[in-house]
Structures are given as C-alpha cells and as structure tokens.
C-alpha cells in the first residue's frame, strides 16, 4: 500500500480502541488474529463497513485460552468504537457514552496512535468475499441480545447436536480445556441469549395430499426454500445469503456450535433443491455456490500467514474432522454435482462455480464424486450427448 492510499485509510478508516487488555489475549478482526502485546490498545485503519471482532482471554503464561467471544460491527468512516477490559468478567465491555466520546476525540488527535495496530488491507479481499451479503439489517435481525456470540451460552446444544464423525470431533474440540473455562458468574448463564436464526424445517407436513406427493415434496426442498424466502426474508434472496455468511463466520471465527448448525441447515436446504437451481432460482444458486466455495477455500487453508504464527490458537482454520468423506457435506455435494451433470440445461455461471467447488473439494480434500473429466470437470467427455447444455442467462434478468 502506497503512502497516499495509507493516508486515505488513516483519514477515513474506523478504529477499535481496546483498553486494559491483558497481554497474550488473542484479538481478531475479520480474517486477522493477533496476540496482545504490553502496549496494545486496539486496531486502526479499518475500512468502513461490516466487520467481525472476536477475542479469547489467556492465562498469564499465554498457554491456555478461554472460549472465543465475538460480535459484529458496522462501522462508518472515522468512527471510534471503545471497549474496556473487565478483569472480573474477563471480557471487553462498553464504556459510558461520555467516556467513549472523550476517548474517541483522543484517538482522532493521534494520542493513541503508537498503541494501535494497523488493519491489514492485504487480507481485506478475503473478508469481503466471506461477508459481502451481510448488511446492518442482517446483523440486527440475527445477533443475540447484547450482541455477543460465544459457545459459553450454547451448552444446551452439546447434547442435541447430531453425532456424525465430523460433528463428534467438533463437540470434542469445543469441550476441550482449550475452549472451556468455568464461568465466574454462572448464575447469569441462563439469561444469555443465542442468535435469532431462521428456523429451517427439515420436512414438509401437508394435509390433503397423497403419500407419493408428500414424498416428492420432501425429496425436492424447492417448496421449503420458496416458503422461507417469502415468509422469513420478504422474498429477498441476499438476506438468506447474509444469514449463511453470518452463521459461517460465527462458527469459524467465533467457534459457535449454533452457528455451525445453522450453516449446516442452510447448506442442506439449498443443496437439497432439485427444481430451483435450474428453473426458478438459478442466480441465487450461483451466488450460493460461490459463497460456500470461498468459505471452504478460506477455511481449508493450512498455511495461513494471517495468524502471525498463532496457528495453534487461531480459530480461523477448519478442523481436520471436516476432511472426512462421511461428512454431511460430502454426501450433499455428491448428490448436487450428480444433479447438475444430469440436467439438460444449466446456467453457465452456475455450471462454472459448481465445477470450481467440485475441483476445490477434490484437490484439497481428495474427495471423489464421479470419474474425473479433463473437459468440463463434471464427469462428461467432449461430445457426450448426455452432457448438460450450458445456457447463459441475461445478467440483467
């Protein structure tokens, strides 16, 4: 970044001022994670817009960490957000409004500048690809009371989460001492609220139709999708995609079980549709496949330099349990890829991003879906009469 651009970011960027944070505390914003040093007081040069801030308290020797606490913010140019560390709660808390104004003015006068670490714009592209559908409206609709997302308030989910091999590994990871500490204010646990995610029904129950018709409805989740889009999202597809991204970020960065389960529900819903991808919601499915492509591509990075050597503590990488071929994701993708390959007419962008997703899973995880093709990546040889017809839809539609 050249000096002129840096000057613009400094002038218009927002600032997170974190006071009295103990040394070794992990502090994260978006795809970046840092360990607090002795003079650390926050992060500057943050591009205006939606961000996810998360942190994990450390023992004095920096070897054990408490559960991650995270929250979304939607910052405006030059905004200063102030939080102060509460030693008893071991968390960041808001300061009184008049105190925040005083600190904000001090930040703008550069009094804290040497204590603020710069936001890395080199990593901003990754974050935008992970969050481009998350708006203030999405945040306000989903975030819990108080805004904090933490697995500490999700203990009730440990007993109900499905026990596939991958999910068992996830539960064990979150129950591990690295992510578990005794809550000093356990009597307050019952008052904590989870996120207000959309309820995704797994099956359709409808009176007055035959068993065969009911079975057909549940084999293709298109009608469930349409009902949810209309009832929960006012027909706005991007709001559904915003919730998909919100839940993934809460899971990956915030280690939220609730976020994982909601992400799984949304992915299962969309990948379970057989009519919508090709006839009524092709553009939605192109955007959806693109979303999970970037989510998985980022999460599967094993050599992640953004964590500044903190790979073992960082929550930014997907656990090895994701690499099992018996995961729900493998089965859903296998069926969806087969569906695309058998369809006679497929939107060109949808086909392109489906192929990219398949190649990512094959090359990164070693998953196999059908015989590999050197032509279109979906199992068809050149000239195959059963290969899908690529239909390029008008982007203005």
**And the tokens for 67?**
């559960």
Using pLDDT thresholds of 50, 70 and 90, give the confidence band for residue 385. Answer: very low
First to last CA, the chain: 38
Instruction: Summarize the confidence of residues 296-301 as an average pLDDT.
Output: 87
For the segment 67-107, what is each residue's pLDDT rounded down to a tens digit? 899 999 999 999 999 999 998 888 999 999 999 999 999 99
How many other β-carbons are positioned within 10 Å of the β-carbon of residue 270?
A: 24
220 vs 269: CA distance, rounded Å = 9
H or E element: which one contains 8? helix 3-12
The DSSP call for residue 382 is T
**Could you tell me which residues are beta bridge partners of residue 118?**
44
Determine the Cα–Cα distance for residues 253 and 27; give it in Å rounded to an integer: 11
Compute the distance between CA of residue 170 and CA of residue 257 in angstroms, rounded to an integer.
Answer: 8
In the predicted model, what is the mean pLDDT of the chain? 80
All domains in the chain, ordered by first residue = 3-131 (2.60.34.20), 168-391 (1.25.40.550)
pLDDT in tens, 161-214: 555 555 666 566 555 534 444 443 433 434 446 899 999 987 665 555 555 555
Instruction: Judge whether residue 314 has pLDDT over 80.
Output: no
Are the CB atoms for 204 and 214 separated by under 8 Å?
Answer: yes
Q: Is 163 exposed, middle or buried (0-12, 13-18, 19+ CB in 10 A)?
A: exposed
pLDDT digits (tens, 9 = 90+) for 325-352: 667 888 899 999 999 999 888 899 999 9
Model confidence at 320, pLDDT cuts 50, 70, 90, reads: low
Instruction: For residue 154, give the 3-state DSSP assignment.
Output: helix
Strands across the sheet containing 116-118? 91-94, 80-86, 14-19, 42-46, 116-118
Residues 6+ apart with CB under 8 A from 77: 12, 13, 14, 48
At 25 the pLDDT is: 93
Residue-wise pLDDT tens digits, 228-282: 999 999 999 999 999 999 999 999 998 888 998 899 999 999 999 999 999 999 9
- Parallel, antiparallel, or unpaired: how do β-strands 345-347 and 91-94 relate? unpaired
Matching residue, tokens 């050149």: 382
Torsion of CA 282, 239, 128, 291, to 10 degrees: -40
- Three-state DSSP class for residue 345: strand
Q: Which of 307, 300, 316, 303 is nearest to 367 (CA)?
A: 300
């Amino acid at each position: 970044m050249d000096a002129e651009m840096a000057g613009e970011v400094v002038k218009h960027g927002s600032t997170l001022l974190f006071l009295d944070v103990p040394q070794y505390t992990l502090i994260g914003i978006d795809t970046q994670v840092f360990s607090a040093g002795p003079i650390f007081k926050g992060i500057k040069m943050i591009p205006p817009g939606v961000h996810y801030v998360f942190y994990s308290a450390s023992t004095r020797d920096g070897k054990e960490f408490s559960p991650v606490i995270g929250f979304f913010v939607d910052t405006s140019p030059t905004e200063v957000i102030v939080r102060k560390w509460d030693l008893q709660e071991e968390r960041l808390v808001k300061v009184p409004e008049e105190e925040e104004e005083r600190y904000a003015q001090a930040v703008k006068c550069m009094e804290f500048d040497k204590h603020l670490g710069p936001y890395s714009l080199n990593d901003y592209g990754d974050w935008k690809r992970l969050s481009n559908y998350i708006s203030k409206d999405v945040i306000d609709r989903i975030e819990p009371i108080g805004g904090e997302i933490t697995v500490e308030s999700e203990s009730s989910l440990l007993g109900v989460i499905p026990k596939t091999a991958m999910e068992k590994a996830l539960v064990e990871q979150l129950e591990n001492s690295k992510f578990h500490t005794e809550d000093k204010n356990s009597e307050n646990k019952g008052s904590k609220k989870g996120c207000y995610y959309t309820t995704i029904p797994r099956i359709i129950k409808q009176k007055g139709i035959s068993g065969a018709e009911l079975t057909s409805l549940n084999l293709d989740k298109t009608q469930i999708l349409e009902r949810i889009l209309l009832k929960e999202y006012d027909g706005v597809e991007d709001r559904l995609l915003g919730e998909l991204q919100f839940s993934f970020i809460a899971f990956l960065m915030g280690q939220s079980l609730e976020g994982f389960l909601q992400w799984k529900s949304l992915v299962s819903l969309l990948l379970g549709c057989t009519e919508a991808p090709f006839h009524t919601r092709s553009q939605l499915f192109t955007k959806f496949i693109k979303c999970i492509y970037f989510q998985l591509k980022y999460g599967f990075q094993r050599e992640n330099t953004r964590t500044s050597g903190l790979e073992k503590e960082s929550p930014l990488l997907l656990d090895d349990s994701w690499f099992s071929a018996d995961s729900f994701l493998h089965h859903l993708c296998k069926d969806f890829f087969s569906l695309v390959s058998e369809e006679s007419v497929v939107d060109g962008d949808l086909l392109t991003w489906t192929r990219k997703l398949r190649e990512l899973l094959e090359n990164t995880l070693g998953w196999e879906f059908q015989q590999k093709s050197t032509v279109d990546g979906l199992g068809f040889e050149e000239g195959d009469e059963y290969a899908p017809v690529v239909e390029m839809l008008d982007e203005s539609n």
